[in-house]
Amino acid sequence: MAASRPQTEGKFFSLTLVRDTEREIFETDMQMQTGFSARVVLSALAATLMLLTALMACFAQRPQQLPAASTTYSGEPVVVNLLEQKGTLHCNQVDKHVAYWTRNKPLGHTQNVAGAAACRLLCFKNPRCMAWTWSLNYEGFINSCWLRELDQDELPMKKHAPKSVSGGLPCNMQQMLAPGSLYCFALTIPNSYEQGLLAMQHQRSTSIFACEEYAIFSNASMTIAPGVETHLVNTSLACQFGGEFGTALNLDIFREVWKAVVQETRYNLHEWTVKVDPDAVFFASRLRAVLPHHPEDINGVYLNNCKFGMHGPIEVLSRRAVYTWAVNEAKCRKFFNKTCNGDCGWGEDIYVDQCFLKVLKVRRDNEWSLLAEDHCASNPLQPVAWTPALCKTNHVAFHPFKSPALYTACMAVSRGSAMLMQ
């Protein structure tokens, strides 16, 4: 059986929604509405309170079982404050008298929105939304809310707009919706540097070992750490490099690994399944902070971590997405055999991405805070030199770091930078 972490008892999330930033947004709403009649102000107040009441009623139906953000997961500090970086706003960022503009058209424009807090809530409920603008009166639009998404490496342009407020998503999004539990797994090649990395991660209770349940797959029986044994997959782990992006052509290998994941059925006990490379510095707590923004869909949802398509160092799939793959992957084989006479020269990551996107209709959500790595920083065929110094962000994962020394250095740099933002 896959190893599990002990459940944390006696912990719960606060359901207090109007924290410091919410209070600031609320006060801004009131200041901007000075001069309007008391009835208009009271109406906005009532609408906001109705939204908060409805949301808290939703929480009451979904009891939280994970520890609060000030606690610790098996030695891994829960840090949810995001650094400002390319493609990412400060969480809880609020710009007064500013309207945001992005390369793409707005996702939506809604009128008669009670205030900035209600606009941000609309953004939170839209998985594609990464920034919002609420205006009391802008170019003839009254009480209007614009929702916007960002491309990777994009920050919104700012335009002076009196009686407008703009910003990003909340820091502690898991206070608004439950993130769900994680089933995390890795594949390791026997007699390689990866066993040392995994043993170090287990000792530090980080990476996949900070998930609610974890498993390590290989084609050989090995003891990674006391009580941690590999799960066997009947396949060679040797593969060629090439194809469109000059990456590992490992599709057949991971077909067997995903088959083992499905056959063991442990994934079905958790809301999310996460595949992590052993040399990826992975912070499970940070993943929990972004998952509430990606609700389950009828065929499932998966997170796209790169503008070039999903990259394999970390793959995050909802429970229904794994099920959809397990039941219908043969449809993808048929489609791509017809389209490009095989697997199109893709590795497992791009193949899964295109299979979900073009054939199985699993919802693809861009999540630019998920991965920082060499092959997604610029041209995928000309990766940048990757060092721990580049870990000065609060991404969920960084890749690649192939020695314990480099791995722990990246962890320290990222945690230290994140702590400075608290």
Task: Compute the distance between CA of residue 136 and CA of residue 111 in angstroms, rounded to an integer.
Answer: 10
pLDDT of residue 376: 81
Residue after which a domain boundary falls, among 152, 173, 194:
173
Which among 128, 221, 212 has a CA at the least distance from the CA of 178?
212
- Per-position DSSP letters for 249-293, written without gaps between them: --HHHHHHHHHHHHHH-GGGGSSEEEEE-TTSEE-HHHHHHHGGG
Same domain, 243 and 308: yes
Q: Is 251 left (phi over 0), alpha (psi -120 to 50) or beta?
A: alpha
Cβ–Cβ < 8 Å for 157, 102: yes
Please tell me the predicted confidence (pLDDT) of residue 93. Answer: 82
In angstroms, the CA 372 to CA 395 distance is: 6
Instruction: Give average pLDDT by consecutive 10-residue segment, the chain, 422 residues.
Output: 41 32 53 46 46 42 28 28 45 87 91 92 90 88 92 88 90 73 96 96 97 96 96 72 48 90 97 97 94 94 94 96 96 90 79 94 94 76 73 92 95 77 42
Q: Establish if 92 belongs to a structural domain.
A: yes
Q: How far apart are CA 2 and CA 247, in angstroms?
A: 30
What is the reported pLDDT for 332? 93
Point out which residues pair with 183 in neighbouring strands: 213, 273
What span, in angstroms and rounded, lies between the C-alpha atoms of 133 and 119?
A: 7
Task: Report the CATH number at residue 69.
Answer: 3.50.4.10
Q: Are 414 and 281 in contact (CB under 8 A)?
A: yes
Token digits of residue 301: 């949802």
Nearest to 311 by CA among 321, 303, 323: 303
Domain count, the chain: 2
Cα 151 to Cα 11: distance, rounded to the nearest angstrom = 37
The residue among 278, 287, 280, 272 whose CA lies nearest residue 376 is 280
CA distance 390 to 79: 18
Structural domain harbouring 80: 20-173
Predicted pLDDT at 23: 52
The reply to whether 13 falls in a domain is no
What lies within 8 Å, CB to CB, of 371 at 6+ separation is 305, 306, 311, 313, 314, 395, 396, 397, 398, 399
Does residue 9 lie within any of the structural domains?
Answer: no
Return the pLDDT at 347: 81
Same domain flag for 167 and 294: no
In a domain, 63, yes or no: yes
pLDDT in the model for residue 31: 56
Same domain, 33 and 132: yes
**Distance between CA 233 and CA 230 in Å, rounded?**
9
The per-residue pLDDT for 337 is: 87
CATH number at residue 337: 3.90.550
Whole-model pTM over 0.85: no
Q: 223 and 327 in one domain?
A: yes
